[in-house]
Structure 1
Amino acid sequence: MARRCVLDWSQVQIFLGLAEAGSLSRAVGLLGQSQPTLSRQLSALEASLGQSLFERHPRGLSLTAAGQALLPAARRMREGAQELSMALAAREKSLAGTVRITASEIVCCYFLPEFLAQMRLDHPEIQLELVASDEVENLLERSADIALRMVRPEQGMLVARKLADWPLGLYAHRRYLARHGVPTVATMGQHQWLGYDRSDQLLRGFAAAGFPVTREFFGLRSDSQVAIWEAMRAGCGIAVGLQRAAARDPDLQQVLPEMPIPPLPLWLTAHRELRDTPRLRLVFEALAAWALASP
């Protein structure tokens, strides 16, 4: 039975580079690899084929009969790869395709649905994926294409645009206030507070405001911002939240306005190379316009 060999594209590229350069040293610049590395890869390629492809001599390399037979097919393979690359590039000029967006649970649940509905009406050819997560998704690893985050990204390969500062406040439902009264700085320890479980963000925030508290200060704890917000709306206690989210519910009342709470910065982020894809650029700019225009 004849021996069946399967070559991958990287091996074909090495073969073509060596055949056209005529020596290992000249192929170094063409293929971007060191001479010892190319020598090892050539030996491995010939071993996998069970045939010698090149004759080694002081002036460099020359093709054997087996190498001459392989050369035309390898060149056709390169032409096919170039055609494929061009076809993919042409497709990327179209808006059709998927855009994956990530944002916090609060933003995904209470703000983005209106934007997503409008995008689906305006551009049905763009499929949207939404990652509702309070974790920082890694855009460099393509966990998402575009991110709305409350922290500025540090990676140099990312494009970031600050959209706004979203003010925060302390809120309670009117039912809770009717039962327990409106809190003051003097009585805040007598009230029911809602906070995070594993995150120490609120502990640090209270301490920075001059009100150091322990984890036990928050009688109901969850790392889900939506769960905490909905528990507050159900009358469970007092919670920190976005003023624009509270403005949507007339039964919510801001309390302790004298407590200083820094606003949350809203950053729009994408990988720098992805901004060159028309559908991603369109969604990126649409998100920026939505965030700036939304009340």
Structure 2
Amino acid sequence: MATPLDWSLLQGFLVLAESGSLSQAAPLLGLSQPSLSRQLARLESLTGQLLFERHPRGMSLTAAGRALLPAARRMREGAQDLALALAAREQQLAGTVRLTASEVVSAYFLPELLLRLRLAHPEIQIELVASNEVENLLERSADIALRMVRPTQGMLVARKLADWPLGVFAHRRYLQRRGMPTRETMAAHEWLGYDRSDQLLRGFAAAGFAVEPSFFALRCDQQTVLWEALRAGLGLGVGLVALAARDPELVQVLPELPIPPLPLWLTAHRELRDTPRLRLVFDTIAEAWSAP
């Protein structure tokens, strides 16, 4: 009789297969690299097969690993369906809601809203995933998501809350040091931008200014860090008008630049909208930030 496989071992196998390295897979599973390595060794011992080839750049599936992958994915789908079915039957407010939003929204906009929710419903705990990555609601990476793009999966409930205007801002100290930028002089100014993300490069190109990464004097993919750098006077940066309005030392510059607003979408899995605590959190966010 075949030895039944522990789902946690197969879950580790899947994450490792899809990420390609122990260093990337272990944090996603909440494990250390040695623990994940031991899990893999256990799975290979149970199957009697070498499932991964180790190489300097990471790990790749062997033929045996590729053969196991479809069945493991089907098991994951079954586990997700079971989790959704159980979650949708929960009728109590008490419990946890996993919410994901961008770093800027999580740091500067959500705390006040979550405080009001906490005072009104202390029985609800919030797990906040502050990430600019698009969390997969279908895989239960999060229960509710605030996104700047419209989701396309049919199993999701999506509601557009508002269009948040963007602008170019500088601290008064920077303007005292470098002067007010114009369309003619903007290329000579110090700009703050992203490192690996090409979002701002595409935005500048759409506005008629093709720039290279070297155009930005400071590059960082953490948006909260860039915003604090802007507030420190390091250079010009693009940000939310509503956020800049909180700091009287920030000045909007180059208002003539065509910068499209960011659409704010609130999404949840369709089945989970019928869970009272998820519905309450969903409706609280929607009521707070829906456009009038």
TM-score, normalised via structure 2 length: 0.69
Give distance in 2, aligned partners of 1:92 and 1:201: 40
Give distance in 1, aligned partners of 2:122 and 2:290: 23
Structure 1 SS opposite 2:92? coil
Q: Deviations over 1:225-267 (max 9, x none)?
A: 1011100000000000000000000000000000000000000
The equivalent position to 1:155 in structure 2, one of 133, 153, 156, is: 153
C-alpha displacement at 1:292, in angstroms? 2.4
Give distance in 1, aligned partners of 2:243 and 2:267: 22
Residue in 2 aligned with 1:248?
Answer: 246
Whose radius of gyration is greater, 1 or 2?
1
C-alpha displacement at 1:89, in angstroms? 8.2
Q: Does 1:222 align with 2:220?
A: yes
What one-letter code is carried by the residue in structure 1 that aligns with 2:121? H
Q: Does 1:192 align with 2:194?
A: no
Structure 2 SS opposite 1:274? helix
C-alpha displacement at 1:133, in angstroms? 0.2
Give distance in 2, aligned partners of 1:274 and 1:251: 43
Give distance in 2, aligned partners of 1:90 and 1:190: 56
The equivalent position to 1:280 in structure 2, one of 266, 278, 283, is: 278
Residue in 2 aligned with 1:167?
Answer: 165
C-alpha change, 1:144 and 1:90, in structure 2 (3 Å) is closer
Matches within 5 A, 1:194-209: 194-209=192-207
C-alpha change, 1:89 and 1:138, in structure 2 (3 Å) is closer
> Please, which runs of 5 or more residues in structure 1 have no aligned partner?
1-5, 7-87
Give distance in 2, aligned partners of 1:219 and 1:197: 11
Matches within 5 A, 1:22-101: 92-101=90-99
Structure 2 SS opposite 1:128? strand
C-alpha change, 1:288 and 1:89, in structure 2 (3 Å) is closer
8 Å contact 2:137–2:269 — kept in the other structure? yes
Give distance in 1, aligned partners of 2:278 and 2:234: 41
What one-letter code is carried by the residue in structure 2 that aligns with 1:171? F
Q: Deviations over 1:272-295 (max 9, x none)?
A: 00001010001000000111279x
What one-letter code is carried by the residue in structure 2 that aligns with 1:95? L
Q: Does 1:182 align with 2:180?
A: yes
Structure 2 SS opposite 1:148? strand
C-alpha change, 1:290 and 1:237, in structure 2 (3 Å) is same
Structure 2 SS opposite 1:99? strand
What one-letter code is carried by the residue in structure 1 that aligns with 2:261? P
TM-score, normalised via structure 1 length: 0.69
Give distance in 2, aligned partners of 1:158 and 1:125: 26
Runs (4 or more) in structure 1 with deviation over 4 Å come to: 88-91
Structure 1 SS opposite 2:228? helix
Give distance in 1, aligned partners of 2:239 and 2:172: 16
Give distance in 2, aligned partners of 1:90 and 1:199: 36
Give distance in 2, aligned partners of 1:113 and 1:183: 34
Matches within 5 A, 1:225-236: 225-236=223-234
C-alpha change, 1:207 and 1:265, in structure 2 (3 Å) is same
8 Å contact 2:89–2:275 — kept in the other structure? no
What one-letter code is carried by the residue in structure 2 that aligns with 1:137? E
C-alpha change, 1:91 and 1:123, in structure 2 (3 Å) is farther
> Please, which runs of 5 or more residues in structure 2 have no aligned partner?
5-85
Give distance in 2, aligned partners of 1:90 and 1:251: 47
Structure 2 SS opposite 1:290? helix
